[in-house]
Chains A and B, each alone.
Chain A
Amino acid sequence: MIKHFISLEWKSFLRSASFGTNLALKIFMTLGALYFAAMFVGLGIAVYFLIEDAGLKPFETVNKFLIYYFTADLVIRYFLQTTPVLNIKPLTILNIKKNTIVNFVIGKSALSFFNFLHAFFFIPFSIVLVKEGFNPMQVVFWHIGVFSIIYSMNFINVLVNKKDSIFYVVLTIVGGFGLAQYYGWFDVTVYTSPFFQGMYDTSYLFLFPIAALVLLYYFNFKFFKNNLTLDTGLAVKSKEATTENLTFLDQFGTLGTFLKNDIKLLKRNKRSRTTVIMSVVFIFYGLLFFTNSIEAYNNPAMHVFAGIFVSGGFLFTFGQFVPSWDSAYYQLMMSQNIPYREYIKSKWWLMVIGTVVSTILASFYLYFGWHIYLLIVVGAIFNIGVNSHLVMLGGAFVKTPIDLSSSKQAFGNKQAFNMKTMLISLPKLLLPMALYAAGYYIFSPEVGLLFVAGAGVLGFAFRNKVFTMIEKIYKTEKYATISAYKQTN
């Protein structure tokens, strides 16, 4: 039986839409995975010495922050890791015992990349610990404890994934602890780190996470077994629909019609909501640059880079998939009397609105001074004037159908992150970086800002020309696009 399952999984992996696309993409995906693995290995080796250099006790410090590490892990899992429940629907009526199916589903979630990733960090770290004179036996205990917790997170995620409320309660509590610790009101790590430390110091504390893991496995097993019917666990959740008229957009004619539709698209599909969340995350991305916490990021060119990303998170994540967002009903769009220009314009306006909102939300960067915020503002101008066009131009060639209704998310297990479109975005960042650096070093920082803003305004002048170009691409690529969008996963 196991043999069959493994061969099924292997086929579903190899034949998934994103993997089958082309060789270049496969290479990029592999490189991406290797990059993350290498980062974690590097971190696992270096973190000990980094903390030591900072004058702290490495092992104790790691134990102190493990609680946040695990929480962050849970949050990432919650948004990105999916439980592939639907795939087992065809198995339920075959001659396979329920227990076997359930074990298969749970076992499958245990094999996720989200679990393996941690091994890249903790194994090197444990090796360094042993090398630095920690007791090998105790390190192994600690290591087993940590991995039991990681797998517990995996199973907790499976359980809470169905229940949003529990997740947000947990998140609020831990987030509150984090804030409290930051402001020095209350330090939760005082209570948690002795436990993690204890997994090393004693020979029995690591048994608790193992017990928790076993218990969670049991709960998961029970949960799935009880819900292995079409109207419970395998049912596709459907939310009660609300009709929205958004009549204020009527005054914009056809443009308004499309905008109305796009707003509903963003609000009502898990896939597009992830995009919105991502763009909020991008707003905070700038903190890495402007707090001077990372030395390599602390130069003018990198600051513009941050400015572009802070204001353009939505523009990039949404725009790269225009018109793929409409892939599910592209045939309808192509057989209706649709003015392409208005369609493109509506997507453009949506990106402009997204950029403006991001820029306003990012006003807390004023804390770092006017110049920093102006960097974000000129970034926004450049995004609207130049990048919005480039992104849509790139998107016109992207023929990846987007499955809006599925809960598979942007970075889901198999529907991998589209490296190709990320690469297309690179020039969009390099140009403003070069412009700003040129102005900055030759004249002054202010001139650098002017250069970037000027390029944005100049780009805006080409708007209609670019729209005509995109229109042409849509028309010439029409048949190819329709046939590509028909290939669902």
Chain B
Amino acid sequence: MIQVNNLSKIYTNGKKVLNIANLEIPKGQSFGLVGNNGAGKTTFFSLLLDLIEPTTGSIKNNEVIVNQSEAWKPFTAAFIDESFLIGYLTAEEYFYFIGDLRGQNKADVDALLKKHEQFFNNEILNNKKYLRDLSKGNMKKVGIIAALIGNPEVVILDEPFANLDPTTVSRLKKIIKELAENPNVTVLVSSHDLVHTVEVCDRIVALNLGEVVKDIQTSPETLKELETFFAV
């Protein structure tokens, strides 16, 4: 589904923040990206969403070269950070807005919201608050569910577990696992948290200073292996 070729990102000050020679993520895989701060996780996702320009190489998303065509947009959805939210809208308005852009009518969106009622924990819908006034955790909930609107085939979530309370984390893991079970949906998740990532992903790639340093299929030993790797 996603092919990375010779991808690198070097900033004008000469700092190389990402360098991936080759990486292939097959359709239906749930893909976990782990690494320390500055490892290049968000840079990789930003390149995948064509938000920054690659210095060399390219990413193909379902055979579409992302920085040349926009044809990847209809089947790709993402939540990177709060800058993906529109602060002056209420949660409902935001969901309908995204729904409109993704060709979903109000009923479709309502059905999805209904399905994730438990995840919202009564803190999101009908609470008379604009998104800018929500707590970080609740903002995240909104962003994650908005990324599921319109049955996207590629779902990208940057640090989805950060800022969430323990109950919500376990509910989120359920949602991601459910997505991962669908053979048509490719899920990409990045995290600092090895335990959560190992739990929801089929495959884990560890980045360090922009390079792929580990690429493993998840097994009972994975967590141990990763913990040893990062325990420096």
Contact = CB atoms under 8 A, between A and B. Distances in A.
Contacts of B86: 261, 328-329, 332
Contacts of B133: 236, 238, 241
A269 B88 contact: yes
A335 interface: yes
Contacts of B100: 254, 257
Interface residues of A, number: 33
A405 B133 CA distance: 10
Given A243-B92, A334-B51, A482-B51, A261 B97 contact: yes
B74 interface: yes
Contact of A329 (B78, B85, B93): B85
Interface residues of B, number: 31
Contacts of A405: 87-88, 132
Name the residue in A254, A269, A328, A338 with the highest tally of chain B Cβ atoms < 10 Å from its Cβ.
A328
B93 A238 contact: no
Given A241-B128, A331-B49, A336-B98, 6 more contacts: A240-B129, A241-B133, A264-B88, A264-B93, A268-B88, A335-B49
Interface string B89-123: 11011000110111000000000000000000000
Interface string A263-276: 01100110000000
A99 interface: no
B130 A241 contact: yes
Contact of B73 (A240, A328, A335): A335
A479 interface: yes
Interface in A232-266: 236, 238-244, 254, 257, 260-261, 264-265
Interface string A308-330: 00000000000000000000111
Contacts of B227: none
Nearest to B125: A243
Given A238-B129, A257-B97, A482 B90 contact: no
Nearest to B71: A337
Q: Which 3 pairs of residues, A with B, have the shortest CB-CB distance? A: A337-B73, A238-B133, A257-B100
Interface of A: 236, 238-244, 254, 257, 260-261, 264-265, 268-269, 328-332, 334-338, 404-405, 478-479, 482-483, 486
Looking at B51, B76, B92, B102, which has the most chain A CB atoms within 10 Å of its CB?
B51
Given A268-B130, A486-B83, A257 B52 contact: no
A240 B100 CA distance: 25
B50 interface: yes
21 contacts: A236-B133, A238-B132, A238-B133, A239-B130, A241-B90, A244-B93, A257-B97, A261-B97, A264-B89, A265-B88, A268-B88, A328-B86, A329-B87, A332-B83, A332-B86, A336-B101, A338-B101, A404-B88, A405-B88, A405-B132, A479-B53
B84 interface: yes
Contacts of B102: 336-337
B10 to A, nearest CB: 14
A254 B102 CA distance: 10
A62 B45 CA distance: 65
Given A268-B88, A337-B102, A331 B80 contact: yes
